[in-house]
Chains A and B, each alone.
Chain A
């Protein structure tokens, strides 16, 4: 079956521009997560959705970052006024939930480069 998909796969943008990253979770998965991974670093949690609400936004690094989820499905991560330190691979994951510790399925990621 179809896994988690993300688009675009690569994005190069100029410093100061806004970008939108999209995540399509596995159908029926109510939980959705955004992480990012800077070059050579571990994964950093950004935000978590249960349905359309975000009970945990604690990982968003600044108010330039925002995310929404509509219809309990597609999610968009928006970064305003991008900075060079935003360059990273942005990963989305989804899982059945809540309750039991269902496995998280990760997408292939969006590689963001801010020049």
Chain B
């Protein structure tokens, strides 16, 4: 299975940008980079995904390295509601997602 490496935890101040890193040095050509997050006591929710180019949506931005061996999820202005575990996942097609331990993001008011 393609694997990702993320820091266990990160902390951010409210209303500041947050950059969540992910390493995936063994990514294959067909793997998409997906980000999901899980708020406390809820199921995971989709954040963003990309293949090669940087992606933006209403929730976040995804910056993908040119060699695709790493990526960064960017939350432009962290809010208290963004406190969650963020998962970086590689998957091709609609195969099942393999969740690692993710990064626990704490947001300080």
List 23 A-B pairs, Cβ < 8 Å: A35-B97, A42-B100, A43-B97, A45-B96, A45-B97, A45-B99, A56-B96, A59-B96, A91-B43, A95-B94, A96-B94, A98-B93, A98-B94, A100-B93, A100-B94, A101-B49, A101-B92, A104-B36, A104-B97, A105-B46, A106-B43, A106-B44, A108-B42
Interface string of B75-106 (1 = CB under 8 A from A): 00000000000010001111111111110000
A59, A102, A108: the one contacting B94 at CB < 8 Å is A102
Interface string of B44-77 (1 = CB under 8 A from A): 1110010000000000000000000000000000
**With A98-B94, A99-B93, A101-B32: A106-B45 Cβ-Cβ less than 8 Å:** yes
Question: CA of A106 to CA of B97 in the docked complex: distance in angstroms?
Answer: 12
**With A42-B101, A101-B91, A103-B49: A109-B43 Cβ-Cβ less than 8 Å:** yes
Size of the B side of the interface (Cβ < 8 Å), in residues, is 22
Query: Considering only CB atoms, which chain B residue lies closest to A44 in the complex?
Result: B99
| CB of A78, distance to nearest CB on chain B (Å) | 19
| A107: Cβ under 8 A from any B Cβ | yes
| CB of B89, distance to nearest CB on chain A (Å) | 10
Residues in B neighbouring A42, C-beta threshold 8 A? 87, 99-102
**With A95-B94, A106-B43, A106-B44: A101-B34 Cβ-Cβ less than 8 Å:** yes
Q: Which of A78-115 contact B (CB under 8 A)?
A: 91, 93, 95-109
Residues in A neighbouring B100, C-beta threshold 8 A? 42
| CB of A33, distance to nearest CB on chain B (Å) | 6
Question: CA of A35 to CA of B91 in the docked complex: distance in angstroms?
Answer: 16
| CB of B31, distance to nearest CB on chain A (Å) | 9
**With A100-B94, A101-B92, A101-B94: A43-B44 Cβ-Cβ less than 8 Å:** yes
| CB of B45, distance to nearest CB on chain A (Å) | 7
Question: CA of A106 to CA of B43 in the docked complex: distance in angstroms?
Answer: 6
Question: CA of A50 to CA of B93 in the docked complex: distance in angstroms?
Answer: 12
Residues in B neighbouring A100, C-beta threshold 8 A? 93-94
